[in-house]
Amino acid sequence: MDFLIGGLAGVGAGFFSNPFDVIKTRMQLQGELKAKGQHAVHYKNIPHAIYNIVRHEGIVALQKGLIPALWFQWVVNGIRLGVYQTADNYGLLRDQHKHTKFTNSLFFGAVAGMFGAFFGSPLQLVKTQLMSYSSEKIAVGTQHGHKGTVFAFKEIYGKHGFYGLWRGAHGMMIRNSLGSASQIAAFEW
């Protein structure tokens, strides 16, 4: 049940934050592999990015990559919160007086975050590639042109094999491990 509730909480947050993730991704890729001042600036700031995306691609484009984004939230947060709660259920996080052991909380928060990131990494990769794909007039970065989530998985697998789906996973695992450890341990404390 903890895996289910943790996943649902992440999905709810992911739905409302996805448009900002699309904007962030596009702004980060702007000028990719080009010298400063040698690229078009399609996204000057957040309101300008929203305007340009809606103008050239329609309002629905603000939710590009939504399906893998929601699955990513489900997987990462379901695993992260589920693993942590399971450790608590087994009595690994508290002393005999039911007080949280800070170091144990930190450790299991890190492990839980790492597992969530590992299993969510392919979804993050697909999500980012779908979010970055845009109208030719405002395209930034590499344009993959996937027709959808399933097609993206097939395309990545076909070009890069099974392990290609986990490109960059180690960086995400470290980030989520540290973030999860600090979030959960601070909350518990």
Q: What is the pLDDT of residues 102-152, one digit of tens each?
A: 999 999 999 999 999 999 999 999 999 999 888 888 877 778 888 899 999
- Which residue in the block uniquely carries the two structure tokens 């040698």? 38
Q: Residues 84, 88, 91, CA angle at the centre, nearest 5°? A: 145
Lowest-pLDDT choice from 17-26, 114-123, 179-188 = 179-188
Q: CB atoms < 10 A from the CB of 183, how many?
A: 14
pTM of the full predicted structure? 0.85
According to CATH, the topology of domain 2-188 is: Mitochondrial carrier fold (1.50.40)
Q: Where are the alpha helices (DSSP H) in the chain?
A: 2-29, 46-57, 66-89, 102-132, 149-164, 169-188
Confidence of residue 185 (pLDDT cuts 50, 70, 90): confident
Q: CB atoms < 10 A from the CB of 146, how many?
A: 18
Domain limits, the chain = 2-188
Flag whether pLDDT at 40 surpasses 90. Answer: no
91 phi-psi bin (left φ>0, alpha ψ -120 to 50, beta other): left
